[in-house]
A and B are shown apart, each in its own frame.
Chain A
C-alpha cells in the first residue's frame, strides 16, 4: 500500500477524486431540484451524454471551450425539456420517459458523432479548459493544489452549491419547489404554479447534467466517445439519495463516490490483489443502506414520481 502520508501521492489521489466528483456533483445538484419538485429524473444519464456531445460539438466547431460548455448546457436542457413535456404535460410515467431519453441520447449521439466527427466516432483532441491556479489559495499544501488549482468549471461548481442551497431553502421560489414535491394539491390551492415550477426544475436538472457531461469532455478527456457518461447519471441519482435530497448533501455524497472511484483506479494498477470491485460497489451499497437507515427520519419528497393533475380545470 502506498504511503498515505506521502503528500504527493495523497494530493494526486485527491485531485483525481475531485475530477471524478465534478460531473456527478453537477448532475446530482440538478436532480435535487427535479426530485424536490416531484419529478424523478432517470434520464439524467442521457442528459449528461447530450451535454457531453453538445460540448464536443461546440468546441469542435468554434475551438472555444466556453461555447462548448454553453452548448452542452443547452443540449442537456433540451433533453430535459422532452422529459418535462412528457411527464408533466402528458403525464406519462416519469420512469418510462427517463429510460426513453437515455436510450434516445445513447443512439442519437452515437449516430451524430459518427456523422459529424467521422467514422471512428472519436473526435480529435478538442480544445478544453486549462487549470487556473487561484493566487494565494493554491499555495496551501494538499488543499491548494487539490481545490484551488482546477479548471474554471470546478469553480463554477463551487459557486453552484451555495446558490442552489439558497434557492431551495431561502427563496420564495424554493418553497414552491419543495411544496410541489411534498403536496402539490395544497401548494396549488395556495397559488403556487405547480406545472411551471416542475418544468423549470426539470430544465435546471437537465442543464446541470449537461454541464456535468461537458466537464468530462472539456476538462477531462478532450474527446467525445460513444456512451462516455458510462453510468455517471445513475450514480448521481444514488448520490441524491445518499445526500438526503439536499444540494450540499448531494455534493458530499458525490465526493464519496468520486473518492471511491479514484481509489479503485489506483488499486487496479498498484495492488491487483485487492479486489477493486469492492470500491466501485461500495457507494451503491452505502446508498441502499442509507435508504434503510434514514427510513423514518429522512424521506424522499412525498409526491415524487406522481404526475399532478388538477381535479377541475380553471
Chain B
C-alpha cells in the first residue's frame, strides 16, 4: 500500500498535466468544439505525422536546451530566469562567428559557431553568477533584468552594425549555406540540434550523478555551508554552474541561427527561455525528464496550429492549457508524500501493527 501511494505521489506531475488537459477540454467546449477531436488533432498532428513531428522537433531543440539551462543551475539552488537573454546572446555570438570569421573547413567552422554561441550565453550568465557569488545579489532579479538588456543588444545589432544592407526590417545577412546544421528528417526543418540536445541531456545526467563536479554542484544546492566545510569552493562553483546554464541556453540560440533561421533576426525567440523554466520545473530539474517534458511542450506548441485548422477552435486555447499545466504543477509541488494524510495513516497503521505484534509476543 505504501509503495503504491508513493508511486501515486511521485507521479503528481502527470496528474497535474492530465487535470490541466481536462480543464482545457472544458474551455474547448465553451468555444464550441469537441475536445476529443481537438486533442486527437493536436497530438496526432504533433507526434503521429511525419511533417508534424518534424515541426515538433524544430521547437523541441530550443525548449529542451533552455530547459536544461534552467534545470542545471536549479540543482545547485540557483534560479536561472535569464535563459531567454542567454539564448539571444548565444545567437548573437554564433552569427558573428559565422559572418565575420574567414570561411574555413565547414564542419570545423560550424563547431566554432556553436562554441561561440555557448560562450555568449555563458558570459551573459556569468554576470548574474558573479553578482550572486561575490555580492550576494539575488540571481532571479539580475537574470530577469539581463533578459531585456540582451534582447535590446540583439535588436541594436540586427538593426545597426549587422543589418543586411537594404533589408526591409532588421535582420543580418544570411550565413553561408555550408554552415547550416544538417537536417535529420528531410524534407522537414528538423535539424541536428534536436539530437544534440538529447545527447547533452544524457551527458549532463551522467555528470550530475557520477562526477566530482556534479556532486559538488548538487551539494552546494543542498547546503552551501556544508559544501564549504567539505572544501568545495562555493563561490567559484556558483559562477561555473550559472555559466554552464548560460552555455546551454546559448547553444539553443546558436542552433536557432544555424539550424532554422540562417540569419539573426531581432526578437526571434517566442519565449523559449520562459518555456525552459516551465519544462525544468515539470521535470523536477532532472535532465532526462527535461527531454520528455520539452518534447511534450514542443508538441503542444506545434500541434496547436494543426488543431486550429482541423477543429476550428483558436490555438490560444493551447496557451491557456499550457498556463494551467504550469499552475497545477506548481500546486502539485506542495503535495509531498511524507507530509500527506496517507503517510500519517500508514505510519499509524505500522505502529498499531507493531503494538499488536509485541502484545502477541508477550501473550505467547
Binding site for B on A (CB under 8 A): 40, 42, 82, 86, 90-93, 95-97, 99-101, 103-108, 110-111, 114-115, 119, 121, 226, 231, 234, 237-238, 241, 275, 277-278, 280-281, 284-285, 287-288, 291-292, 295, 300, 305
Contact = CB atoms under 8 A, between A and B. Distances in A.
Interface of B: 27, 30-31, 79, 81, 131, 135-138, 140-142, 144-146, 148-149, 152-153, 155-156, 159-160, 274, 277-278, 281, 314, 316-324, 326-327, 329-331, 333-334
A58 to B, nearest CB: 20
Nearest to B334: A90
A7 to B, nearest CB: 31
A106 B329 CA distance: 17
A99 B320 contact: no
Contacts of B149: 281, 284-285
A108 B323 CA distance: 8
A157 to B, nearest CB: 24
A131 B122 CA distance: 49
A162 to B, nearest CB: 27
Nearest to A91: B334
Interface of B, secondary structure class, is helix
9 contacts: A86-B334, A90-B331, A99-B278, A107-B324, A110-B316, A111-B27, A121-B316, A277-B155, A284-B148
Contacts of A300: 138
A305 B81 CA distance: 15
B141 to A, nearest CB: 6
A101 to B, nearest CB: 7
B322 to A, nearest CB: 6
B142 to A, nearest CB: 6
B124 to A, nearest CB: 12
Contacts of B316: 107, 110-111, 114, 121, 226
A100 B327 contact: yes
B327 A82 contact: yes
Given A86-B331, A101-B327, A103-B326, A237 B144 contact: yes
B330 A86 contact: yes
B131 A292 contact: yes
Where chain A touches its partner, the secondary structure class is: helix
Contacts of A277: 152-153, 155-156, 159
Contact of A99 (B138, B277, B317, B331): B277
B319 A234 contact: no
Contacts of B148: 231, 234, 280-281, 284
Nearest to A307: B334
Contacts of A108: 320, 323
B141 A291 contact: yes
Given A277-B155, A287-B145, A292-B137, A107 B322 contact: yes
Given A104-B327, A106-B319, A280-B152, A288 B27 contact: no
A291 B138 CA distance: 9
Contacts of B152: 277-278, 280-281
Contacts of A42: 81, 140, 144
A53 to B, nearest CB: 12
Q: Which of A121, A278, A288 gathers most chain B CB within 10 Å?
A: A288
Interface centre among A115, A119, A226 (most CB of B within 10 A): A115
A100 B330 contact: yes
Contact of A275 (B81, B160, B314, B322): B160
A248 to B, nearest CB: 20
Contact of A96 (B27, B281, B324): B281
9 nearest CB pairs, A to B: A107-B319, A104-B323, A107-B320, A90-B334, A103-B323, A107-B323, A110-B316, A281-B152, A277-B152
Contacts of B27: 111
Contact of B153 (A238, A241, A281): A281
A284 B326 CA distance: 27
A95 B334 CA distance: 14
Given A107-B318, A108-B323, A110-B319, 6 more contacts: A40-B140, A108-B320, A226-B316, A241-B141, A285-B149, A295-B136
A100 B326 contact: yes
B81 to A, nearest CB: 7
Contact of A110 (B146, B320, B329): B320
Nearest to A279: B152
B281 to A, nearest CB: 6
Among B274, B278, B331, which residue has the most Cβ atoms of chain A within 10 A? B331
Contact of A93 (B131, B327, B333): B333
A16 B327 CA distance: 36
A237 B141 contact: yes
Given A101-B327, A277-B152, A291 B137 contact: yes
A93 to B, nearest CB: 7
Max chain A C-beta neighbours (<10 A), residue from B277, B327, B333 = B327
B145 A92 contact: no
A40 B144 CA distance: 13
Contact of B319 (A111, A241, A278, A287): A111
A171 B326 CA distance: 38
Given A110-B316, A277-B156, A281-B153, A105 B323 contact: yes
A46 B277 CA distance: 16
Nearest to B155: A277
A284 B141 CA distance: 10
B156 A234 contact: no
B185 to A, nearest CB: 29
